[in-house]
A = this chain, B = another copy of it.
Amino acid sequence: MEYYGSIEAGGTKFVCAVADEDLQIVDRISLPTTLPEETLNQVFEFFDSYQLKALGVGSFGPIDVNQKSSTYGYITSTPKIGWTNMDLLGTLKARFAIPIAWTTDVNAAAYGEIHLGAGKGTQSCIYLTVGTGIGGGAVVNGAVLQGFSHPEMGHITVQRYPNDTLECVCPYHDNCLEGLAAGPALEKRTGIKGQLLEVAHEAWSIEAFYLAQSLMNYTLVLSPEKIILGGGVMKQTHLLPKIRESLEQQLGGYVSLPDLEEYIVGCGLGDNSGTMGCLLLAKEQRGLM
């Protein structure tokens, strides 16, 4: 049997999985992200029982995806203790002498969703996760989107919702999407955790406004065929229709969008987008090498 491995390297947990050649998952583990050596030893131990043919890694960022760079494969300027400027890909390569695909967690999720989830049948999509942070990945013409680096969609500037005076939670910016609309901002604005906030609370209109504004701007820049929303905050299913409505209003009829119910959608793979994307990238990487 041929096996493929997946590592979704998150700032809170590492989700590792093994799948057979049909990408059916045969084993999976979730490990807390502590210090690199400790976490990675557990990762190695998990994969030890399998003869992997290739591995796909979707990592929290920022990461270096520029193959010409001397720090290619590193997690770079994360504030997470122990992981700053950490050569994750190199460490994995030293352990596994197999092809390893390397991209961001959200690019991997976009790749999973376009092949097996909500983006099936399209050539381009954006995947945005809205949770503790906000991050976006994309697939364009069937390939994950990378240029000089990878997208950092959560940090685009947004215009304020009328009279929203919340101090932006992002330490870098005064008015970025993540700082005004990720989970911590939602909680800071109301003093109530998002999960406990009633559906009719104005905070959801504010949340929808910022997300819709950003999706509109992503659309005007990238023109994807589909936008797929995931992450903890999006588990509030009443939010999706509010976002569509606000987007339509903010766009002011300027461009003809596809039917918004088809264009802005939830995940097709639930919490498996990233894992399936990593597995697909692993399989593809093997074919390429």
Interface residues of chain A, those whose CB is within 8 Å of chain B, are 62, 76-77, 123-124, 136, 140-141, 143, 145-153, 155-159, 172-173, 175, 213, 216-218, 220-225, 250-258, 263
Residue of B nearest to A146 (CB): B223
> What are 10 A-B interface contacts by the 8 Å CB criterion?
A136-B221, A140-B140, A141-B143, A147-B224, A148-B223, A148-B258, A149-B223, A157-B216, A158-B159, A159-B175
Cα–Cα, bound, A256→B62 (Å): 10
Instruction: Report whether A156 and B221 are in contact in the complex, using a CB–CB cutoff of 8 Å.
Output: yes
In whole angstroms, how far apart are the Cα atoms of A36 and B3 in the complex? 60
Shortest distance from the beta carbon of A159 to any chain B beta carbon, whole Å = 5
State whether A152 touches B224 (Cβ < 8 A).
no
Check B221 against A148 for contact (C-beta < 8 Å).
Answer: no
Q: Could you say which of A123, A143, A147, A258 has the most chain B C-beta atoms within 10 Å of its C-beta?
A: A147
Contact call B222/A221, Cβ cutoff below 8 A: yes
Q: CA separation between A149 and B157, bound complex, in Å? A: 24
Determine which residue in A157, A175, A218, A220 has the highest number of CB atoms from chain B within 10 A of its CB, and name it: A220
How would you classify the secondary structure of chain A's contact residues: helix, strand, loop or mixed? loop
B224 touches A173 (CB 8 A): no
Q: Which residues of the other chain, B, contact A62 by a CB distance below 8 angstroms? A: 255-256
Known pairs A156-B216, A172-B254. 19 more at Cβ < 8 A? A62-B256, A76-B256, A124-B147, A140-B147, A145-B223, A149-B256, A152-B254, A153-B221, A157-B213, A157-B216, A157-B217, A157-B250, A159-B159, A172-B251, A173-B252, A217-B217, A217-B221, A218-B221, A221-B221
Which B residues touch A147, using CB under 8 A? 123-124, 140, 222-225
Bound complex: CA A220 to CA B221 (Å): 11
If A123-B147, A157-B216 touch, whether A172 touches B252 (CB-CB below 8 Å) is yes
Contact yes or no, B148 A257, CB < 8 A: yes
With the chains together, A254 CA to B225 CA distance in Å? 29
How far is it, in angstroms, between the C-alpha of A75 and the C-alpha of B261 when the chains are bound? Answer: 26
Chain B residues with CB under 8 A of A149: 223, 255-256
Query: Are the C-beta atoms of B140 and A145 separated by less than 8 Å?
Result: yes
Contacts of A143 in B (CB 8 A): 141
**Closest chain B residue, CB of each to CB of A69:** B256
Please indicate the chain B residues that have their CB under 8 angstroms from the CB of A123 in the complex: 147
Q: Tell me, rounded to whole Å, the shortest Cβ–Cβ distance linking A59 to chain B.
A: 16
Centre residue among A146, A150, A155, A258 by max chain B CB count within 10 A: A155
Distance between Cα atoms of A250 and B176 in the complex (Å): 11
- Among B152, B222, B256, which residue has its beta carbon within 8 angstroms of that of A77? B256
Chain B residue with minimal CB distance to A170? B254
Name the B residues within 8 Å of A257 (CB-CB).
Answer: 148
User: Which residues on the B side are within 8 Å of A224 (C-beta)?
Assistant: 147-148
